[in-house]
Amino acid sequence: EIVLTQSPDFQSVTPKEKVTITCRASQSIGSSLHWYQQKPDQSPKLLIKYASQSISGVPSRFSGSGSGTDFTLTINSLEAEDAATYYCHQSSSLPLTFGGGTKVEIK
Amino acid sequence: EVQLVESGGVVVQPGGSLRLSCAASGFTFDDYAMHWVRQAPGKGLEWVSLISWDGGSTYYADSVKGRFTISRDNSKNSLYLQMNSLRAEDTALYYCAKPELRAPMGGAFDIWGQGTMVTVSS
């Protein structure tokens, strides 16, 4: 099973700051890494697919990078509406797995 | 509008059974594999099961293997999860999820339902 380790678990950030969340895979997954945003009492929403591909309708302040085992989600100029928990997810091999999540709080 | 709507979640006793349903609309259902993902209260996301577009192949997380059965009825645009021998640790919000690609596993999940809550408690 591919284990995805996210860091940090929690981040408290002021608006307009830059946020960086990392996801490390226990073995190489190429670019088969996706990022989701989940706000309280909502379903997860796809933010970035295949490590760095943008999703229509997602603000351009969200970007992703990485390949192999190390991946990063970056939120440039954080806005209040970005308060949420962010998850990475690998679709390289079964069982599919998710990272433990990173909760982003707005100061 | 592309939509997934889950139903069937209830409170059930340990050892009991339950069948969840997911009604799909707005896309060609039988073009896609489909997944179930769950989220225990206050916890992260856990992949549960996958079924191929034609129902011919199914896969499960070890935590549910032998107890849960995924199925689909393409004529009804519906996905199901039969849950047997339920345990307290199966308590979770169960989501059905559509992958974005017409491929065996399908890549990222671009559409999620709102979830249906299963509580296993005596």
B9 — contact with chain A (CB < 8 Å)?
no
Answer yes or no: do B47 and A91 touch at CB < 8 A: no
- Cβ–Cβ of A43/B113 closer than 8 Å? yes
Whether residues B59 and A94 touch (CB distance < 8 A) is answered with yes
Of A49, A95, A101, nearest to B108 by CB-CB distance is A49
Beta bridge partners of A71: A23, A66
Phi first, then psi, for residue A51 (nearest 5°) are 70, -45
Q: Which residue of A has its CA nearest to B35?
A: A96
Residues 6+ apart with CB under 8 A from B104: B33, B52, B57
CA-CA distance, B79 to B70, in Å (whole number)? 8
Cα(A29)–Cα(B108) distance, integer angstroms = 14
Report chain B residues whose CB lies below 8 A from the CB of A97: 47
pLDDT on residue A30: 97
**pLDDT given at position A34:** 98
Residue A11 has pLDDT above 90, yes or no: yes
Q: How far is A95 from chain B (nearest CA, A)?
A: 6
**Which pLDDT tens digit goes with each residue over A57-104?**
999 999 999 999 999 999 999 999 999 999 999 999 999 999 999 999
Q: What is the pLDDT of residues A52-66, one digit of tens each?
A: 999 999 999 999 999
Q: Give the residues of chain B that fall short of pLDDT 50.
A: none
Nearest-CB residue to A100 (from B35, B44, B106):
B44
Please, which residues 23-42 of chain B have a Cβ atom closer than 8 Å to chain A? 35
For the stretch A22-31, pLDDT in tens is 999 999 999 9
Predicted local distance difference test score (pLDDT) of residue B104:
79
- pLDDT value of position B102: 86
First to last CA, chain B: 39
